Chains A and B, each alone.
Chain A
Amino acid sequence: MEWEAVIGLEIHAQLATKSKIFSGASTAFGAEPNTQACAVDLALPGTLPVFNAEALRMAVMFGVAIEADIGHTSVFDRKNYFYPDLPKGYQTSQLFHPIVGIGHIDIELEGGSTKRIGVTLAHLEEDAGKSLHEEFPSMTGIDLNRAGTPLLEIVSEPDMRSAEEAVAYVKKIHAIVTNLGICDGNMAEGSFRCDCNVSVRPKGEEKLGNRTESKNINSFRFIEKAIKGEIIRQIDLIEDGHTITQETRLYDANKDETRSMRSKEEANDYRYFPCPDLLPIVIDDDYVEQIRNCLPELPDARKARFIEQFKLGDYDAMVLSAYRELGGFFETTANTAGDAKLAANWVMGELSKHLNQHDTDITVSPVTAEMLGGLLLRIKDNTITGKIAKQVFEAMWAGEGNADEVIEAKGLKQVTDTGAIESLVDEVISDNQPQVDQYVNAEPDKRGKMIGFFMGKVMQASQGKANPGQVQGLLKQKLDALAN
């Protein structure tokens, strides 16, 4: 039988506010335990929440960006459950009147087609603290620094039909929130995490199958793997005559599998009700329009502009528009170097490789966009070869100065003096008589390939500094003269 997967996603994006959603404690990552948890976050008696205006503005920005209905009156509700890292005994969230209503985004599929994915809603809520179960033998340690951090939970329609579509959707939402500057998008630190709802049904069937929810998956690759694995697991079970239990599952990246966490039958009854400590949030059209007018360029628009303005290919434009900082870095590099294609290659190649290897954020890259642009200028004006440029890049990364300083200090300037190159070429030809004989005796149409050997020798002799075009020209001229 042919099966079809139905996938819906819930994304939690941590909003990039300085302070918490209902208190004035800091949201900075990585502080000592409980040093950023104030009386409100600890739910001490007598404390009351006061809503953060910036969290509201960021949520509305997202709503406007996905062309959603904005709730002019939205209400906070209490989601009641007991867990030690939730001091109030409830999470302040939104159920009945969320801030962002129905919207949509378009994802690009393989082959260049696009698909519209519905966003059901996005609501504001607070994060819980962290429980540390392994540090102590008989106790659980509680760190409440994260408690009260603002989250935007973005809920999709079950519109996706494959793991690839799901990942394309998550990447697009990630690109939107990071380009808007409302979320740092750091998945490793948990600023952007994803729950995947997956079910399968026979192709053509309308009725949805029982679904499972895999929680808190924190990388694009794991999302794809978790969904693929879950689809196969469900199909295997059904084909073996079993039924799917509606349950919450946990993705284990080490084993690359999901396992049951709790089934929905015994799931909590959250007893939602409107939070009496918070009044309805009322916003007007002017407020929404002001935000609409100040919205930064969105990934789709930026991608289209990169294709139009810089003549980039579809793929390059998509990668470079996925992060605001990456796109900005590319633009500055391209404008400095006056060559967009070269800039795109270096930003996506050498620069990205170094950022990954050194786990460095692009905003603190030791090689700035201006420095990289300056390096590319020296490739373009033939001061250095592409190969030497990589060496210069390494030196710039190590803090040895800008491109011109490194080239000067290390004496890497390309040799374009014909006399100097000619003597190297002559030397290589006389030192490699057997290869010269082979060349001379070869069919003329085979000789083109054979010249590579001599190229390598000359470049090696010049320590990579000889101009490759000149070397090739001279080699061909001299070898062909011997052949004829």
Chain B
Amino acid sequence: MSLDRSDVEKIAHLARLNIAEQDIQEYAENLTDILDLVDQMQAIDTTDIKPMAHPMDAIQRLRSDAVTEGNQRDHLQTVAPAVEAGLFQVPKVIE
């Protein structure tokens, strides 16, 4: 499987990445190499092998339903570029 320029442009758009025009070709080649590697692995017969989520076959630990985090707004908003009336401010999303 190989990716062309338009695939790279689409992926970049979906991920909201701004990529330089002259780099697109190189990205396409590198990503295609990765997919080729995946193709090689796909060739292995895994019919009787159960998918694994963790090397130690671990399962999800659960936490009890308790409120352990209080109001940390002032502290957490010190890293925000813009804040007003307790709200994070971002460039206007809709017109």
Contacts and interface: CB of A to CB of B under 8 A. Distances in A.
B5 to A, nearest CB: 17
Contact of B88 (A39, A52, A141): A141
A389 interface: no
Contact of B76 (A42, A53, A135): A42
A34 B85 CA distance: 10
Contacts of A202: none
Contacts, number: 125
A139 B82 contact: yes
Nearest to B89: A139
B62 A51 contact: yes
B66 A18 contact: yes
A139 B91 contact: yes
B59 A132 contact: no
A24 B66 contact: yes
A29 to B, nearest CB: 14
A241 to B, nearest CB: 33
Given A33-B86, A136-B89, A139-B90, A279 B59 contact: yes
Interface stretch (A77-85, A178-186, A336-344, A362-370): A77-85
A274 interface: yes
Nearest to B88: A142
Interface size class, chain B: 20 to 34
B84 interface: yes
B72 interface: yes
Given A24-B68, A42-B76, A142 B89 contact: yes
B92 A138 contact: yes
Contacts of A143: 86-88
- Residues of A contacting B: mostly: loop
A278 B60 contact: yes
Contacts of A23: 69
Contact of A52 (B58, B63, B77, B82): B63
Contact of B92 (A44, A140, A268, A282): A140
Contact of B60 (A26, A42, A281): A281
A37 B65 contact: no
Contacts of B43: none
Contact of B16 (A34, A54, A82, A279): A82
Contacts of A24: 63, 66-69
Interface in B1-57: 10, 14, 16, 53-54
Contacts of A19: 65-69
Nearest to B16: A82
A56 B62 contact: yes
B59 A281 contact: yes
A35 B73 contact: yes
A51 B59 CA distance: 11
Nearest to B56: A279
- Residues of B contacting A: mostly: loop
A131 B93 contact: yes
B63 A33 contact: no
A39 to B, nearest CB: 7
A271 B14 contact: yes
Contacts of A282: 59-60
B90 A26 contact: no
Contact of B59 (A34, A84, A136, A280): A280
B58 A279 contact: yes
A141 B16 contact: no
A94 interface: no
B58 A144 contact: no
A18 B65 contact: yes
A75 interface: yes
A162 interface: no
A282 B60 CA distance: 7
A327 to B, nearest CB: 26
Contacts of B63: 24, 50-53
Given A52-B63, A75-B53, A279-B53, A142 B87 contact: yes
B93 A133 contact: yes
A240 interface: no
A38 interface: yes
A36 interface: yes
A25 B67 contact: yes
Contacts of A26: 67, 69
Interface in A280-338: 280-282
30 contacts: A19-B68, A24-B66, A26-B67, A26-B69, A33-B85, A34-B86, A34-B87, A35-B71, A38-B76, A39-B69, A50-B61, A50-B63, A51-B60, A52-B65, A131-B93, A133-B93, A136-B89, A138-B92, A139-B84, A140-B89, A141-B84, A141-B87, A142-B89, A142-B90, A143-B88, A268-B14, A269-B10, A279-B53, A279-B61, A280-B59
Please name the 5 residue pairs, one residue from A and one from B, whose CB atoms are nearest each other, closest first.
A24-B68, A141-B87, A54-B65, A38-B69, A53-B62
Given A19-B69, A281-B59, A281-B60, 14 more contacts: A19-B66, A23-B69, A25-B69, A38-B76, A50-B61, A54-B64, A80-B14, A135-B85, A139-B89, A140-B90, A140-B94, A268-B14, A269-B10, A280-B59
Interface of B: 10, 14, 16, 53-54, 58-69, 71-73, 76-77, 82, 84-94
